[in-house]
Amino acid sequence: MQCLQCMPGFYIQVNSTSSIAQCLPCATPCMTCSPGNSSFCLTCYSNSALTPDNNCTVCNLTSNCLTCSTSNATICTSCPPGFGLLNNVCLACPINCQTCFNSSGTGLAGIQNNVACTSCNPGFGLSVAGYCLPCLYNCRVCSGAFQQICLSCSSNFYLNATGFCTPCSLGCTSCVPTGCLECAATYLLVANNGPSYCTPMCPFPCSSCSLTNSTQCTTCLLGYTLLPNNTCAVSLNTQLTAPYCGFGSYLSGNQCLQCNNNCSRCSAPSTCISCFYGFYYNATNNSCLACPTGCSVCSNPTSCVSCQGNYTLINLQALSNQPYCSQCALPCLQCTQNPQ
């Protein structure tokens, strides 16, 4: 198998004897480097700057810089969220600020160190004085001048006509005044002529139930029998009538035989029905193929759903426009949304 593209922190190198392309690590702290020269940096990770001689100079860690000057590692040029740039230094924003700025000359009174908020964390509104004040209960975004005026609500709530957040009905995770839009994992969305709502999914011990009536079982869990009234009762037999095979195996002639690699369920050795984590189902030949590097769950060869440890999910991938998993930048053990 040959590499076509490398992850951040690696460069592609073709082996002179085997002609196989492989990914080799760049010198720290290069994010990308020149093929054949791991110390020739092309781009740098955050908190470092690319110098004219193609090295990455790490910014002064005590300055909290996101990026810094190539000539002076103590001079910040930009700051991470929660910090504002003031006199080439990144100062912590006031409490509950997401971003802030130097407010000198703006007429804002009483702002400590002349640093005022420009945007707030969820649940807070930006006031005209440059502070982030708490919104009403369960309000995610509110008007800064009038914290009692809500603009959008937290999960499980909807904004009513009076500007307050009203809780959704039982089992509903997203709703509007006319009904429910999404349900919790154990509930089913019912959309009739009236308002839509969430009803509990199949009751135990149903394994499946009617789409029009969730209280009517259509099949039962192992060890239960389906009765004429569409309910499940404990099987009268003390022993199961047929063997039950665990994950990675299938039933054949009262024996459990192993599925092909990576199948969690199959009907024959080479006919997969579902896959283990790290693999996706390929309907073309009923097989389980490996997810992209770093994915724990994926829907196809280029689209990740969740990531393994030491990776973070990036929603939009260049060229393919698909979510992918990017490895956290050293020395991070865990990161969210941004590898740096």
Task: Please give the Cα distance from 31 to 33 (Å, whole number).
Answer: 7
pLDDT value of position 246: 67
What residue ranges do the domains of the chain occupy? 1-78, 79-167, 247-277, 291-340
pLDDT value of position 319: 44
Q: Is 63 helix (H, G, I), strand (E, B) or coil?
A: helix
Identity at 21, one-letter amino acid code: A
Q: Which letter does DSSP use for residue 196 in this model?
A: B
pLDDT value of position 219: 76
In this structure, what token pair is assigned to residue 292?
């992209």
- The upper half-sphere exposure of residue 8, i.e. CA atoms within 13 Å in the direction of its Cβ, equals 21
> Mean pLDDT in each 10-residue stretch from start to end of the chain (340 residues)?
69 72 80 83 82 84 81 84 82 84 76 80 83 82 74 83 83 84 76 76 73 75 80 64 65 77 80 82 85 83 80 63 77 73
Which class does domain 1-78 fall in?
mainly beta
pLDDT value of position 303: 79
Identity at 259, one-letter amino acid code: C
pLDDT value of position 129: 81
pLDDT value of position 82: 82
pLDDT value of position 238: 42
Cα→Cα distances 150→92, 123, 143, 158, 278, Å: 27, 10, 6, 10, 42
CB under 8 A, 24+ apart: contacts of 130-139: 130/94, 130/103, 130/106, 131/94, 132/94, 132/95, 132/96, 132/97, 134/96, 136/164, 136/165, 137/165, 138/165, 138/167, 139/165
Q: Decide: residue 38, CB within 10 A, 0-12 exposed, 13-18 middle, 19+ buried.
A: middle
The third-level CATH classification (topology) of the domain covering 79-167 is: 2.10.220
